[in-house]
Chains A and B, each alone.
Chain A
């Protein structure tokens, strides 16, 4: 299983772009990178998933360099409601197992 490393916490002001980087040095060829968001006392919620290069959806972008040993979740113009824990997961898509790391606790400051 590819282990992930993320910063424990980050602070940002409202309206700023936030980039959270995840390291996954031993990612396997078949592994995808998936990011989840979790608010207190709620289940994690899927944000975005990618394999390589760049993926963008309505809430975030995911940047993956060519070596795929890291990835960066980009949240444009964060608001107070984006305060949450963000998890990076790495795994293949056999649907068997997805292990969460320690996550990054993002605090958005007014």
Chain B
């Protein structure tokens, strides 16, 4: 079964450092998402991406965050200058062609980011 893959599974970084989290969505999907989940809390929407541009973003997704689809397969989340409160599990998700299946998001296993 096709799956969304994320790397790294765990990254530890110093406050103020840049971090890039990588995702390979399912190959024929068109919509891509990043979510984060702080330990013990709910899953929070960060950003959605379609047709090579951001289609929606939340208040969390400020100027420190950016997303990119540098080639036909990868989808990346960059945090320019990490803060302690960025420590969380970051989930990438993708979905198909829209319509009635657009609500079926396929999530990766997550990248755990620890900011020291």
Contact = CB atoms under 8 A, between A and B. Distances in A.
Given A95-B30, A95-B48, A96-B55, A44 B42 contact: no
Interface in B70-116: 89, 91, 93, 95, 98-110
Contacts, number: 73
A49 B105 CA distance: 11
B110 A93 contact: no
Interface residues of A, number: 25
Interface of A: 32, 34, 36, 38, 41-46, 49, 87, 89, 91, 93-103
Contacts of B45: 97-100
A16 to B, nearest CB: 26
Interface string B5-36: 00000000000000000000000001101010
A49 B44 contact: no
A95 B31 contact: yes
20 contacts: A32-B100, A43-B107, A46-B103, A46-B104, A49-B100, A49-B103, A91-B103, A93-B98, A93-B101, A93-B103, A94-B98, A95-B48, A95-B102, A96-B48, A98-B33, A98-B103, A98-B105, A100-B42, A103-B42, A103-B43
